[in-house]
Structure 1
Amino acid sequence: MNTTTLPAPARAVVEETKRLPLAALGALAVIGFVLVAMETMPAGLLPAIAAEMGTSEGTVGLFVSAYALGTVLITIPAITLTRGMRRKPLLLGGILGLVLANTTTALSNDVTLSLVSRFVAGAFSGVIWGMLAAYGRKISQPSRAGLSLAIVSVGAPVGFALGTPLGSWLGTTFDWRWAFAGLTAVAVIAGVFISVIAPDAEGQPGPSRLPLLRVFRIPGIAVVLAVIFTWMLAHNTIYTYIAPYLRTTGSTLTADVELFTFGISSIAGIIITGALLDRHPRPLLHGSVALFIAAAVVLLVGHTLLPAVIAGTVLWGATFGGAAAQLQAALTTTGGADSDVANSFLPVAFNLAIFGAGILGAALLTNFGALALAVVMIVAGLAALMLTIYGRRAAFPARL
């Protein structure tokens, strides 16, 4: 495209867009897909893994818990200790560790070894998550920070949409080990691609590094983390137990179709976020959480009507799909020079929400029934909305 005839401001925008490292950002998004799919995939393979390894499905369910525990325990100290390192070698090292741990799981015949390998995989996953958003932003132009974050974040909803169903299909059609091997192959290809085409970025200089607790005390950081936890809790409580909810509706909608619909709608949410995040991050966040609550109301009030359930699911996905990009953008901007450490808090808060949602959802199903899941989605969503309003100045800037 010839830009010489355009006005100077328009020419600058076109040139910046052309220089955006789309291929590298796309490869980072693929890694995001691998991280989410790797965490959730065992849920669709419980019977196959349990039968072959001669153990119970409950024990195999700990594959997910071990992964989450590795993320929670290792992410923050690992990112704190490595924040002075150059970003690209650290990312490639994290991918290599993830590949080796996942390959061990794919080959293991021992439950204990498998649980240890899942813990290690979760640890490397947390390191990658802790730096992925900031790295994508560092290799992009400052004026396109929101778009770069949206591109990097697109892998997560695709992982949620396809990770568990695809793993279940591979495990049923071939063998459950092929599902893990497939993710290893994708990670290797993406890692090679990143090593060849992704720019490097410097770590944080020593004199500018704040101690861990001081990073946490940066005005706005705690509020962003509280929004992450409450919003993720609102989402994961019903997402984890979507099958019992659908049984309560009496509809013919199956869990895999429901989750696929949610995932596709999430991708639409990422596109919307990418278009608006650079210019209107605060209104976008307020609107996303508010419409997320509206989706929960539809899922509760209209649960006996199939069109209402589908509409609520589409709205749910569209409003939640951009959550990761929006909250990572807030942490990155608020964290400033310490954005890598600030972002390391995100997977911890996210996985704590997953853990809490599993316990809360199980208790609600036992004592109140599946419709209580939608009630939690509303109540926790309202709490998240109030937190975004409370922290609108310190935590959620008007511009990135």
Structure 2
Amino acid sequence: MPTKPTKPTNRRRPSKETSPTPPPKLPLPALLALATAVFITSLTETLPAGLLPAMSADLGVSESATGQTVTVYAIGTALTAIPLTAATAGWRRKRLLLTAMAGFAAANTVTAVSEAYLLTMAARFVAGVAAGLAWALLAGYARRMAPAHLQGKAIAIAMAGIPVALSLGVPAGTFLGEVVSWQVAFLAMTGLTVGLLAWIAALVPDHPGQESGGAGATAPHTLHALRVPGVTPVLFVTLVFVLAHTVLYTYIATFLDELGMGGSTDLVLLVFGAASLVSIWIVGALIHRRLRALTLASVLLVGVAAAVLAAFSDSPALVYVAVTLWGLGWGGAPTLLQTAAGDAADKAGAADAAQAMLVTLWNVAMAGGGVFGGVLLGLAGTSSFPWTILLLLVPVLLAVAAARRHGFPVRGGGGGR
């Protein structure tokens, strides 16, 4: 997701080498490489959601315990995003991106060959650490490749890897898991990552790192960003919105199995992801002028989807309707929240710190969603998931509605109504 922490008062001075001048048009091959990196990070994180039954059987643990493979990934990211981005702030951007993606190749390979639950969890933690580096780098990298008036579209193209992972990657991985084995799905991820390393090396322009006050300066940077008007509401919305989404998404295979739709998990995820692709296309086209309206619509659509699942889950047709609405609401959310955080903090020179905090809270929410969903699964069953989402979305909607001047403004800051 986001970029690196900055100094509280002034923007960091570039290192001795200046960044290449952005081309007048979007460098699509390079941006598509970043989108593929986003695809790999997103798919690595969410792939277990479609493979829980098979993974739990082979690893000899419950589905709830297997669901924690998503949680430990998110913990790895949450614990390391801020300190690692501070420690590597001076690294050249291509070198850092190659390092992060190599980490994914190693972690997915170990996950595929592991027969022990603890080793699998360790590999997933390492993948989360690699994600902390990647997410804190990718949005800023995309912005630096584009002229100022096209930076929003550049981020939208890079973030398109998320809905592609949901629409194609997770269903394809689920299908591979059912037809061959879940191990093959993870090995396929390794192969894709190796190909991406060559793509990055050949076609992605390099940029210098930035001078940093070091890891010890992280706390002042963070406190400064939190004092900037609009940053706190965006971070709150990120934390609770992602938590609401993750509670159900992590256990979607188990949820569908309880409805008698377990054999349709790959198709349901395909519908969800296709709707997410439509969502990110709409957001990419309108975010410069309509950030606030798009964010409100995003929350409302996910809320309506949860209400349909809560009241009409006995109808397969309405389950597909709900999943479509869910994808339409969720697909553009990463771009919306990332842009809102960057816009709110940019004028105060705190955009990098705000983005690093957004990455951290995003993954705290992912981890919390996996744990909370597992507790709900054990105590109340899958029927509790949609009602929980509805309860969580109430404060999210109120926070977006209240942040009219800063965070999700009516005018300026990346979009109005």
Q: Same fold (TM over 0.5)?
A: yes
Partner of 2:187: 181
**How do 1:61-80 and structure 2 match up within 5 A?**
61-80=67-86
Q: 2:398 aligns with which of 364, 374, 386?
A: 386
Match of 2:269 among 252, 259, 274: 259
C-alpha distance in structure 2 between counterparts of 1:370 and 1:86, whole Å: 46
Following the alignment from structure 2 to structure 1, what is the Cα–Cα distance between the partners of residues 178 and 36?
A: 24
Tell me the distance in 2 between the aligned counterparts of 1:256 and 1:150.
26
- 1:20 is matched with which residue: 26, 32, 55? 26
Counterparts in 2 of 1:339 and 1:50: CA distance versus 1, 3 Å: same
TM-score, structure 1 as length reference? 0.85
**Cα deviation digits, residues 198-217 of structure 1 (max 9, x gap):** 22334344489863332343
Deviation (angstroms), 1:299? 2.9
Measured after TM superposition, the shift of residue 91 of structure 1 is: 1.5
Superposition map of 1:36-47 within 5 A = 36-46=42-52
Letter in 2 for 1:81: A
Contact 2:50 / 2:253 at 8 angstroms: preserved in 1?
no
Q: How many residues matched?
A: 384
Which residue of 286, 292, 308 maps to 1:298? 308
Find the partner of 1:56 among 58, 61, 77.
61
Separation in structure 2 between the aligned mates of residue 145 and residue 79 of structure 1, nearest angstrom:
21
Query: 1:4 aligns to what?
Result: none
Aligned to 2:155: 149
1:346 matches 2:341: no
Q: What is the Cα deviation at residue 379 of structure 1? A: 2.2
* Post-superposition offset of 1:277: 0.8
- The residue aligned with 2:296 is 286
Show the counterpart of 1:270. Answer: 280
- Corresponding position of 1:326: 336
Aligned to 1:116: 122
What fraction of aligned residue pairs are identical, expressed as a percent? 36
Q: What is the CA-CA distance between 1:267 and the residue it aligns to?
A: 0.6
Deviation string, structure 1 residues 194-235 (Cα, Å, up to 9, x no partner): 222222334344489863332343332222111011111222
Residue of structure 1 in register with 2:222 after alignment? 212
The answer for the alignment partner of 2:93 in structure 1 is: 87
- CA shift digits 1:16-60 (9 cap, x unpaired): 99711112111111111111211222344456556666x435665
In the TM superposition, residue 132 of structure 1 has moved relative to its aligned partner by: 1.1
* Counterpart AA for 2:385: L
CA contact (8 A) 2:31 2:142 kept: yes
Distance 1:241 1:51, change over 3 A: closer
Change (3 A) 1:325 1:51: same
Alignment correspondent of 1:356: 368
2:398 corresponds to 1:395: no
1:253 is displaced (CA, Å) by 8.0
Q: Which has the higher mean CA deviation after the structures are superposed, 390-399 or 205-214?
A: 205-214
Q: Is the 8 A contact 1:38 1:163 kept in 2?
A: no
Q: Tell me: CA distance 1:206–1:252, structure 2 relative to 1, closer, same or farther (3 Å).
A: closer
Residues 279 and 399, structure 1, Cα contact 8 Å, conserved in 2 = no
State the partner residue of 1:158: 164
CA distance in 2, matches of 1:365, 1:56: 15
Q: Using the alignment, how far apart are the partners of 1:387 and 1:97 within structure 2?
A: 37
Q: Say what the alpha-carbon RMSD is for the aligned residues.
A: 3.0
Task: Kindly indicate whether the alpha-carbon contact (under 8 Å) linking 1:79 and 1:340 is maintained by their aligned counterparts in 2.
Answer: no
Q: SS state of the match for residue 361, structure 1?
A: helix
Q: What is aligned with 2:233? A: 223
Contact 1:127 1:344 in 2 (8 A): no
- Find the aligned partners of 2:241 and 2:193 in 1 and give their Cα distance: 29
Query: How many angstroms apart in 2 are the aligned matches of 1:320 and 1:35?
Result: 17
Give the number of the structure with larger relative contact order, counting CA–CA contacts within 8 Å between residues 6 or more apart.
2
Kindly indicate whether residue 387 of structure 2 is the aligned counterpart of residue 375 of structure 1.
yes
Q: Which amino acid aligns with 1:115?
A: M
Structure 2 distance, partners of 1:47, 1:288, is 31
For residues 199 and 313 of structure 1, do their structure 2 counterparts lie closer, same or farther at Cα, with a shift above 3 Å needed? same
Tell me if the contact between 1:303 and 1:309 (Cα under 8 Å) persists in the aligned partners: yes
Matched-pair contact (CA < 8 Å) for 2:298–2:330? yes
| CA separation of 1:113 and 1:277: change in aligned 2, threshold 3 A | same
Is 1:200 equivalent to 2:210 in the alignment?
A: no
* Distance in 2 separating the partners of 1:243 and 1:48: 11
Counterpart Cα distance in 2 of 1:367 and 1:64: 20
How many angstroms apart in 2 are the aligned matches of 1:287 and 1:62?
31
Which ranges of structure 2 fall in alignment gaps of 5 or more residues? 1-21
**Cα separation, 2, equivalents of 1:165 and 1:157:** 12
User: What is the alpha-carbon distance in structure 2 between the residues aligned to residue 293 and residue 108 of structure 1?
Assistant: 38
Distance 1:17 1:303 in 2: 50
Question: 2: CA distance between counterparts of 1:369 and 1:189?
Answer: 41
Shift of 1:393: 2.3
Alignment partner of 1:254: what SS?
helix
How far 1:340 moved relative to its partner?
3.4
Structure 1 unaligned segments of length 5 or more: list them. 1-15
Which residue type is aligned with residue 183 of structure 1?
M
**Alignment check: 8 A CA contact 1:130 1:341 kept:** no
In structure 1, what is the Cα distance between the partners aligned to 2:387 and 2:54?
34
Q: Aligned in 2, Cα 1:395/1:96: closer, same or farther, shift over 3 Å?
A: same
* 1:99 corresponding residue in structure 2: 105
